[in-house]
Amino acid sequence: MKMDGGQALIRALELEGVDVMFGLPGGAILPVYDPIIDSSIRHILVRHEQGAGHMAEGYAHATGRPGVAMVTSGPGATNIVTPLCDAHLDSVPMVVITGQVPYAAIGTDAFQECDTTGITQSVTKHNFLVSEAQDIPRTIKEAFHIATTGRPGPVLVDIPKDIVDPDNPRSALEWTDDVEMDLPGYSPRTEVDPAAIAAAADLIRAAERPVLYVGGGILKARAAEALKELAELTGIHVVTTLMARGAFPDSHDLCLGMPGMHGNFTAVTAMQESDLLIALGARFDDRVTGRLDGFAQGAKIIHVDIDAAELGKVRRPDVAILGDCRVAIEALVSDLSSNGVGGADRGAWRSRVSGWQERFPLSYEQAQAGDALKPQMVIERLRDATPDDTIVASGVGQHQMWASQYWSFEHPYTWINSGGLGTMGFSIPAAIGAKAGCPDKMVWAVDGDGCFQMTAQELVTATVEKIPIKVALLNNSYLGMVRQWQEMFYDERYSEVFLSKDVPDYKGWAESMGCVAMRVDSPEEVDAAIAKANEVDDRPVVIDFRVTAAEKVYPMVPSGASNSELVVPPSQQDQPR
Amino acid sequence: MNEQQGSSGPAKHHVPDYRYHTLVVTVENKSGVLARLAALFSRRGFNIESLAVAPTDDERFSRVTVVVDLESAPLEQIIKQLDKLVNVVNIRELHPGHAVERELMIVTVAAGPDRRDELVEQLDRAGGKVLSVGADAMMLSLVGPPIRIDEFEELLGQYGIIELQRTGRVALANLDEND
């Protein structure tokens, strides 16, 4: 069948099962926007290309399917570099299509030309510059294959205008349904080495103080069910990293919650005191380990990862298992079921863990009558007033940590945040993408005022496209996390962290973008505002919660310190450890 | 990136082999692939001692011989990160002492008529060739194991090196090392 490159590109996306894409047209990508009119794919027109990228990420996080974004050349491409890097660090499957100047003009500094594949090389899993129209269908197939297999990640496809422009003879191609991929250097391995499984099972049987250290790879591998089976079979406690919140239910007896710099005392200390860490799809990030030479010094390590380069990158494992997390966990379950879970005495360990849980729960000082609103309390009320399967998307900073700490995640794929890159402004577009992919679920963005001002314009997108997300804005007038560091580590010398008490008028701004908006100043107003927001289902809602700037995120491992030097909230500082 | 294609500076002191390791990387012969390799080395802080690239007998692939500095990163991590590049088809590690390594140097040396005999005698002993003779200079070439090239380069210092280019090393596994 004869086609032009633009038609072939959209047809190839349809064949990959794309139902929603996020983008913004411009000169170089213009010819591809014409066939979109006739396509089954829903295109969501964003207000800034960064929004398109984070929406695609939010969609991918929530649905498990690759997110797709399409933007033009030059500034369109450079504006989506941050989402690409974000997706790269958090292993989010995403395909980004960028327009490019005509092939013959590449290298001439043409209008809106930039070296997109060069710029994005280090922030993508792979990228392509397509030179011939005939290569478009195969390249799209390869892009989706690479983005979604092995360790998932973002793939960019750069498309010169002449090969998609129907007025240019270079755009003509012969469409065939069965294109073959040509990727001789790409063959991710999913099956696991039985000998490594057996060795890992032996370590598990012998361990007296084991901890399952669960990272985002569990979610990517769709392994939450398998993980629960492994934990319950062995009775081993589970910590879920920032990227894995929801992979194991917070209400489960074996769940210790989040470890790391702002992890809770029990999760951090159980890892420190463990004799066996079973790392599943986790990468020993510095925010989890603290100072590396002081991290879990007495622990042997079993490390399961689908990316061979993670095995031994930071901490040398005693047993390395290369492969898919779900396959590995199922193999472990099978071995431990057949050969026994071992007779190690873990009674003393269990009582130590429960002792920590009793002495060092997550806590903050409740507001007294007349006190300002506490951000942690807003999260708790929101948690209690929303369904169990509500999707929470957060920005980056204090509000992100409080959301992760005080929410109770009961289901996988209900927590969406920017972990590796720490991208402020992530939450609103990510929430929109999640809601576009899961229209039947309630989606709340938990945001800070610094973050909100970076990407709030996408609420216009949400209104116009009828994507009714809700935003809980924890507004303390500060870049709160930076303020916290300046308070604790720079002698309370506050440098460039105060935003403003009264501008912008968030309620007025949100209303101007078509949202229902409320402002909440006191604790008494919180429940009513949330209840009202939950009733709105035809447009976005923003609640401007005016919270105190005095609250700090606790516990905290100071930067560069060992996890054993975890700072607990003032009320717990006299407790014996 | 401390990337050197051969060496154009003064002769280096020979460093023990364990610090450097030779990798033979087969890559797809496509535009931009060398940039991906170079960017990876830069991004991850891996240092390259030398790099030689040429197409193989199969035009779809190129063969890259790269000598990596193991003080900058462990070999295992370098190999694993390289392997993640989609265009990298195969990586082979050539252990020091289990491979034939060669490098080509061409060099222009200051040598008037009074010193030519002595220079040619030393060149003969090393197995090199005279490529060209000028009024006050000679252009020479020498092929050999990199350590021999290092030694000869150092020896030429007494004459005065006017211009020098080394190719960086290429290598093949010893015959008995091939599967």
Determine, for residues B80 and A308 on separate chains, whether the beta-carbon distance falls below 8 Å.
Answer: yes
Pairing status of strand A210-214 against strand A276-280:
parallel
Q: Which of the four pLDDT bands, split at 50, 70 and 90, describes residue B15?
A: very low
Of A49, A113, A142, A273, the active-site residue reads A49
Determine the pLDDT at residue B7. 37
Q: Are A67 and A94 in contact (CB under 8 A)?
A: yes
Query: Nearest C-alpha of chain A: how many angstroms from B101?
Result: 26
The answer on pLDDT for B179 being more than 70 is no
Structure token digits, residue A180: 């073959």
Pairing status of strand B61-69 against strand B47-55:
antiparallel
Report the residue of B41, B84, B85 to disrupt the A interface, i.e. the one with the largest count of A CBs within 10 Å: B84
Determine the pLDDT at residue B96. 73
Q: Which of A25, A26, A65 is nearest to A45 (CA)?
A: A25
For tokens 């929004």, the residue is A51
Using a CB-CB distance cutoff of 8 angstroms, which residues of chain A are in contact with residue B80?
A: 308-309, 311, 313
What is the per-residue burial (b if ≥16 Cβ within 10 Å, else e) of A92-103?
bbbbbbbbbbbb
**Is A112 noted as a catalytic residue in this protein?**
yes
Q: Which of A570, A551, A555, A568 is nearest to A260 (CA)?
A: A555
Using a CB-CB distance cutoff of 8 angstroms, which residues of chain A are in contact with residue B36?
A: 121
Q: Which of the four pLDDT bands, split at 50, 70 and 90, describes residue B57?
A: very high
Q: Is A129 on the interface with B (CB under 8 A)?
A: yes
The answer on pLDDT for B5 being more than 70 is no
List CB contacts of A454: < 8 A, sequence separation 6 or more: A424, A425
Q: Which of A237, A223, A308 is nearest to A276 (CA)?
A: A237
Query: Nearest C-alpha of chain A: how many angstroms from B53?
Result: 18
Which residue among A185, A309, A312 sits closest to B86, beta carbon to beta carbon?
A185
Report the residue of A91, A103, A119, A122 to disrupt the B interface, i.e. the one with the largest count of B CBs within 10 Å: A122
- Residue B171, Cα to own-chain centre: how many angstroms? 9
Using a CB-CB distance cutoff of 8 angstroms, which residues of chain B are in contact with residue A186?
A: 86
Which residue among A118, A185, A311 sits closest to B87, beta carbon to beta carbon?
A185
Mean pLDDT of B36-65: 93
Determine the pLDDT at residue B3. 37
- Sign, Cα dihedral of A226, A230, A233, A235: negative
Q: Is A309 on the interface with B (CB under 8 A)?
A: yes
Structure token digits, residue A562: 């060992």
Instruction: Give phi and psi for A485, each to the nearest 5.
Output: -65, -40
Instruction: Give phi and psi for B130, each to the nearest 5.
Output: -90, 125
Q: Tell me how far apart the alpha carbons of residues A321 and A198 are, in angstroms, rounded to a whole number.
A: 10
Q: Which of the four pLDDT bands, split at 50, 70 and 90, describes residue B177?
A: low
Structure token digits, residue A463: 């209104």
Determine the pLDDT at residue A111. 98
Contacts 24+ apart (CB under 8 A), A226-230: A226/A325, A226/A326, A226/A329, A226/A330, A226/A333, A227/A280, A227/A329, A228/A252, A229/A329, A229/A333, A230/A329, A230/A332, A230/A333, A230/A336
Neighbours of A425 (CB within 10 A): 25
Q: Which of B65, B66, B69 is nearest to B47 (CA)?
A: B69
Residues paired with residue A97 on neighbouring β-strands, in sequence order = A70, A157
**Burial bucket for residue A408 (CB in 10 Å: 0-12, 13-18, 19+):** middle
Structure token digits, residue A389: 């399967």
Using a CB-CB distance cutoff of 8 angstroms, which residues of chain B are in contact with residue A121?
A: 35-36, 39
Q: Is A181 on the interface with B (CB under 8 A)?
A: no
Using a CB-CB distance cutoff of 8 angstroms, which residues of chain B are in contact with residue A307?
A: 84
Three-state SS at A438: coil
**Inter-chain contacts counted by CB atoms under 8 A, chains A and B:** 40
Q: Are A120 and A84 in contact (CB under 8 A)?
A: yes
Query: What percent of chain B is modeled with pLDDT above 90?
Result: 75
Q: Are A551 and A375 in contact (CB under 8 A)?
A: yes
**Is A161 noted as a catalytic residue in this protein?**
yes
Which residue among B35, B60, B81 sits closest to A309, beta carbon to beta carbon?
B81
What's the N-to-C CA distance of chain B in angstroms?
Answer: 35
Mean pLDDT of B42-64: 93
Indicate the helix (H) or strand (E) that contains A459.
Answer: helix A458-464
Domains contained in chain B, CATH given: 17-99 (3.30.70.260), 100-173 (3.30.70.1150)
Q: Are A437 and A413 in contact (CB under 8 A)?
A: no
Q: Is A184 on the interface with B (CB under 8 A)?
A: yes
Query: What percent of chain B is modeled with pLDDT above 70?
Result: 88
Q: Tell me how far apart the alpha carbons of residues A304 and A286 are, in angstroms, rounded to a whole number.
A: 18
Q: Are B138 and B111 in contact (CB under 8 A)?
A: yes
pLDDT tens column, A44-65:
999 999 999 999 999 999 999 9
Determine the pLDDT at residue B6. 38
Listed as ranges, residues in chain A with pLDDT below 70 are none
Domains contained in chain A, CATH given: 2-174 (3.40.50.970), 194-359 (3.40.50.1220), 375-546 (3.40.50.970)
Q: Which of the four pLDDT bands, split at 50, 70 and 90, describes residue B12?
A: very low
Which residue among A117, A118, A312 sits closest to B76, beta carbon to beta carbon?
A312
List CB contacts of A107: < 8 A, sequence separation 6 or more: none
Q: Are A117 and A128 in contact (CB under 8 A)?
A: yes
Report the residue of A85, A313, A322 to disrupt the B interface, i.e. the one with the largest count of B CBs within 10 Å: A313
Q: Is A576 on the interface with B (CB under 8 A)?
A: no
**Is A49 noted as a catalytic residue in this protein?**
yes
Q: Is A121 on the interface with B (CB under 8 A)?
A: yes
Q: Tell me how far apart the alpha carbons of residues A376 and A401 are, in angstroms, rounded to a whole number.
A: 10
Structure token digits, residue A200: 């890992």
Determine, for residues A184 and B89 on separate chains, whether the beta-carbon distance falls below 8 Å.
Answer: yes
Query: Nearest C-alpha of chain B: how many angstroms from A304?
Result: 15
Determine the pLDDT at residue B178. 55
Mean pLDDT of B18-24: 86
Cis peptide before A555 (omega within 30 of 0): yes
Question: Torsion-angle region of residue A396: left (phi > 0), alpha (psi -120 to 50) or beta?
Answer: beta
Q: Are A378 and A526 in contact (CB under 8 A)?
A: yes
